[in-house]
Amino acid sequence: MSGRIYNFSSGPAVLPEAVLRRAQAAIWDLDGSGIGVLEHSHRGKAFMAVLERTEARLREVGRIPDSHAVLFLQGGASTQFFQVPMNFLGGGTADYCHTGVWSQKAIAEAGRYGTIHVACSSESTRFDHIPGPEATRWSAAPAYVHFTSNNTIFGTQWRQEPAVPAGADLVCDASSDIFSKPIDVSRYAMIYAGAQKNLGPAGVTLVIARKDFLERGSRELPTMLQYRTHVGEHSMFNTPPTFGIYVIGEVTAWIAEQGGLAPMAELNQAKAKVLYDFLDGSAFYRGTARADSRSLMNVTFRCRDEALEPALVAQATARGLDGLKGHRSVGGMRASIYNAFPMAGMHALVDFLHEFERAHAGAR
C-alpha cells in the first residue's frame, strides 16, 4: 500500500489492489496483444474476449440465469432513472419505495412518463429506516415496482427485497450494494447499477434484466434508449465503455478469488460490525440509521456535539483516513466501506475515533 491511504469515498471508491495492478499492466499490454486495453478497437478479437469473459464472470459470480440479459450501458444510474419509465411506464402507474435522495430523483424522472404511486416512504423520519410491509401499500396493478437497495446518503439498506404482490416486476437501483452479498436475480425484472462503487470505474452502468421484460419496452424511443437494441447487439450497438468493462471483469474475478458473494457478505458484515459496535458503545458518537436498517456499505454517524465534526473530518484526513465527510445534504460523517475496503482500515478508523473522543470528551 505504499503511498496509499484509507479511502472512505462513497464513489468512485476504493478498488481491490490486485485489480489496480492488473489494470496497470493491461493499460500497457492487454493479454499479451502488444496493445493496451485503452487502445484496442472494441470490435477486435482482444476486446471481444474481454467482453465475453466479463459477462461470463458476472453470470458465474452473480448466478445470473439465462432468462436475464447482462448489459453494459452508459449515462450512469441517473440515466436509468428515466430510461426505465420511458420504456415501461407509458402513461400507466408504477410503484416506488421512497427511501432517500436517490429514490427521490428516480421518482421525479418517472413522473414525466406516468403516475407514480409512492408505496412506502421514510421521509417523515429523515430517511432513517427502511419501511416494513405494514407501512407499505401497493397499487392495484403497477407497471413495475422500484426500490433502491442501499441508500448511499442516509446509510440504510434493505435486508431483503420488498414483498411485492405476486407477478409484479421488481426493478432495483443497486448502485451502492451490488455484489456485496448473494442476490437471487430470478426475483428481479431489472437490476441496475453505476459501476463506480462496488464494480469498477465511473462511466459504465451494469444492467441485469429479464429478456422478456426488456422486450416489452417501448418501440417509439430513440434506438439507444430501447433496451432491446443493446440485448440484440450484446452492448456493442455503439462503442461501449471498454475500460470500464475490462475493470468490471477483473473485479468480478477478484470476488471469485475471495470465494464469491457469500464470503464477501460475511466480510462486509464483519467490517461494518467493527464500526457499529464502537458507535453503539459510545456516548460521544451516534449512528444515524435505525439499527434494523443499517447499511453495511455506508455507515453514517455524528458527534453528539455536531460542532466538533469539521475538526474530526480534518484530523482524520491528516491521518490518512480520507472521504469521511457526510453528503452535503445531511452533514455528519459517512464511512463508505464497499467490498474492496480492507478490514485494517476499519480498525484504523475506530482507533482514530477513540482517540478523538478522548481528546474532546471533556470539552462537551
Q: Which residues are catalytic?
A: 102, 173, 197
Binding to ligand PLP (CB under 6 A): which residues in 249-308? none
Q: Which helix (H) or strand (E) holds 194?
A: strand 190-194
DSSP 304-343: SSGGGHHHHHHHHHHTTEE--BPPTTT-SEEEE--TTS-H
Joined grid coordinates for residue 242: 471498454
Answer yes or no: are the C-beta atoms of 30 and 46 closer than 8 Å. yes
Q: How far is CA 246 from CA 174, 183, 257, in A?
A: 20, 23, 17
| SS3 label, residue 115 | strand
- What's the closest the beta carbon of residue 123 comes to ligand PLP, in angstroms? 16
Residue 83 binds ligand PLP, judged by CB under 6 A: no
- Binder to ligand PLP among 109, 173, 309, 357 (CB under 6 A)? 173
**Region near ligand PLP per CB under 6 A, out of 62-70, 76-84, 279-287, 356-364:** 76-84
User: What is the rounded distance in angstroms from the CA atom of residue 54 to the CA atom of residue 71?
Assistant: 11
CA 269 to chain centre: 16
Binding mask 84-113 for ligand PLP (x = CB under 6 A): ------------------x-----------
- What's the closest the beta carbon of residue 78 comes to ligand PLP, in angstroms? 3
Residue 148 binds ligand PLP, judged by CB under 6 A: yes
Binding-site size for ligand PLP (CB under 6 A) equals 11
Residue 175 binds ligand PLP, judged by CB under 6 A: yes
**Region near ligand PLP per CB under 6 A, out of 170-178, 223-231, 282-290, 342-350:** 170-178
User: What is the rounded distance in angstroms from the CA atom of residue 35 to the CA atom of residue 44?
Assistant: 11
Nearer residue to ligand PLP within complex by CB, 77 or 313: 77
Q: Which residues form the interface with ligand PLP (CB under 6 A)?
A: 11, 76-78, 102, 148, 152, 173, 175-176, 194
